[in-house]
Amino acid sequence: MARAQRGDLDAYGVLVARYSALAHRTAFLLGAGPDAADIAQEAFVKGFRKLGTFREGAAFRPWLLAIVANETKNLHRSRKRRNLMELRVLNTTDPVDHDDPADLVGDSRLLDAVKRLPEKDRQVITCRYLLDLTEAETAQTLNIARGTVKSRLSRALGKLRPMVEEVAHD
């Protein structure tokens, strides 16, 4: 990382190679769907531009994943705006389907339940359990306090349990 911060493109290339799959998986699971590769690529470009803001001694992984999460949020916002504009053009009140990671992952009951959670709950569950990040890494990735991670996780799991049990009984 120090070499990359000094402008060594090859060093940054090593970081890109090492973390590309994780960045792509993170974007996908946070809801980027088929745009996950573009989100990951944009995160690396932004990360390169922001190398000067990287704190010495900090972990690269959560720093990068925070950029991925922000880019995914930006994608959701732009999709929502685009979908709202399409609704106005169509002059309809039908709900618009939003891409969701669970829609694309497959027929997993757990992921189906996770996709029904509110976005904040889905994000914290995704980071902690699907990406196997620590609480600290989750906090850094989502740009929230560690205590917020704990409380959101507790509430999200409380919502998820009955949803999974309901599916299991069907």
Does 108 share its domain with 95?
Answer: no
Q: What is the number of helices (H) and of strands (E) in the chain?
A: 9, 0
- The parent domain of residue 29 ranges over 1-99
CATH code, domain with 71: 1.10.1740.10
pLDDT at 169: 58
Give pLDDT tens digits for 1-52.
888 888 889 999 999 999 999 999 999 999 888 899 999 999 999 999 998 8
> Contact 100/115 with Cβ under 8 angstroms?
yes
Rounded distance between C-alpha atoms, residue 141 and residue 137, angstroms? 6
Q: Say which residues have a Cβ less than 8 Å from residue 7's Cβ, sequence separation at least 6.
A: none
Rounded distance between C-alpha atoms, residue 79 and residue 63, angstroms? 25
State pTM to two decimals. 0.55
Last residue of a domain, one of 99, 128, 158: 99
Give pLDDT tens digits for 116-130.
899 999 999 888 888
When divided into structural domains, the chain yields a total of 2
Does 49 share its domain with 113?
Answer: no
> Contact 69/138 with Cβ under 8 angstroms?
no
Does 110 share its domain with 62?
Answer: no
- Tokens, residue 141: 């990735």
Which residue matches tokens 């049990």?
165
- Tokens, residue 137: 């890494």
